[in-house]
Amino acid sequence: MKKCVILCVDDEKDILDSLRYFLISKIDAGAYRIEIAESAEEALEIYEECKQSGISIPLIIADYIMPGTKGDELLVNLHKKDPKMVKVLLTGQATLDGVKNAYENASLYRYIEKPWEKSDFLLTVQEALKSYIAGRKLEEMLTEKESLLKEVTLTRLEVIRRLSRAAEYRDSDTGYHIIRMSNYCRSIALAYGVEENEAEILFNAAHMHDVGKIGIPDNILLKPGKLTDEERRIMEKHCEIGADIISEHPSKILQQARLAAISHHEKWDGTGYPNKLSGMDIPLIGRVAAIADVFDALTHKRPYKEAWEVEKSVNLIKNNSGKHFEPKMVTTFLKVLPEILIVKECYND
Ligand SMILES: [Fe+2]
Ligand SMILES: [Fe+2]
């Protein structure tokens, strides 16, 4: 393993030498080595060399007064390149401006006034290194947590897609209805004014709208003709079955998925099912899904009907504005129709 570098910068050679000898005798020589630079410019060169060789510099101790670039400016410069590096400034006279600049713009860890007390100096170095290590550990933990969270989200999405696919598999072998319908939902929602991340949740949740079909017997689900009243009542149960399958869960996607399942057959005028909700009482996902689902059902072959032409389907949607569908949602649907037709072409059964 490459040793980390502690970089000491001072224009006075004897101070540098004494710093180096002092630190060598006190730090863990297995983990760190000391590099010295007699100017800010030389320090930057060492930084670049270390960077190219993949060596990290957890700590820099820089003198404030140096010919050329001063210590505080060097730290500000390095802070832009490596904000994690812990920075200590050595000051000959109490030069407040430089210290202030380093605190404000280089996230200075400490400043030490010359001449320093050896024990204080050592304590500062030890604490600085500890703070660097703690920072890296925290960073690692956060990255690990982030990737774990990402994995959980991806797994959840995958389960949603597969479960939706399982439900749809019974009446379609391509599974394209769900893909088309979810894409329509996202396009309509974005044009309706829904934020991008919310539209993404809606897109994923919409996949589950018909998951309750798992609970509908084949003789009803696949019946080629018109359903009897009793069969229709059973068919309509797919909304509640779907909501039961998804059930309550703190995940936003699953909450939306549940709403999609329970409300995608509600109608704006209150004549839909299962809860006869009307107007804005119907959740947003239900209002979006209603149009997306009906348009897709109309334009594709179903066991009980042939595929309709786009124009005839669009007219039916227009005629149902304020009845089956929210008027603003119909206007939005018409606006994104070209986008919807592209999706339709891409995923044709
Ligand atoms: Fe449905
Ligand atoms: Fe559907």
Query: Would you say residue 1 has pLDDT above 80?
Result: no
Query: How much distance in Å is there from the Cα of 251 to the middle of ligand 1?
Result: 22
Residue 32 DSSP class: E
β-bridge partners, 90: 63, 112
Q: How far is the CA of 338 from the centre of ligand 2 (A)?
A: 21
CA of 154 to the centre of ligand 2 (A): 23
**Ligand nearest to the backbone CA of 236:** 1
pTM: 0.67
Q: Is the pLDDT of residue 167 over 60?
A: yes
Percent pLDDT > 90 in the chain is 73
Q: Which CATH number fits domain 171-346: 2.130.10.10, 3.40.50.720, 1.10.3210.10, 3.40.640.10?
A: 1.10.3210.10
Contacts of 51 (CB under 8 A, 6+ apart): 81
Strand residue runs (E) in the chain: 4-9, 32-37, 59-63, 86-91, 110-113
Distance 176 CA to ligand 2 centre (A): 11
Question: Which residues neighbour ligand 1 (ion) by CB within 5 Å?
Answer: 210
Kindly give, in sequence order, each residue whose CB lies less than 8 Å from that of residue 305, ignoring residues fewer than 6 positions away.
none
> If you measure from the C-alpha of residue 193 to the centroid of ligand 2, how many angstroms do you get, rounded to a whole number?
23
Residue-wise pLDDT for 217-237, tens only, equals 999 988 888 899 999 999 999
Nearest ligand atom owner, CA of 235: 1
Condensed to tens digits (0 to 9), the pLDDT of residues 231-259 reads 999 999 999 999 999 988 888 999 999 99
Q: Count CB atoms within 10 A of the CB of residue 247.
A: 8
Beta strands in 26-171 (DSSP E): 32-37, 59-63, 86-91, 110-113
Catalytic center residues: 213
Q: Is the pLDDT of residue 103 over 60?
A: yes
Secondary structure (DSSP) of 206-252: HTTTTGGGGGS-HHHHT-SSPPPHHHHHHHHTHHHHHHHHH---S-H
pLDDT at 161: 83
Q: Which ligand is nearest to the CA of 171?
A: 2
Per-domain residue ranges of the chain? 4-143, 171-346
Domain 4-143: which CATH number of 3.40.630.30, 3.40.50.2300, 3.30.110.30, 3.40.50.300: 3.40.50.2300
336 φ/ψ angles, rounded to the nearest 5 degrees: -95, 10
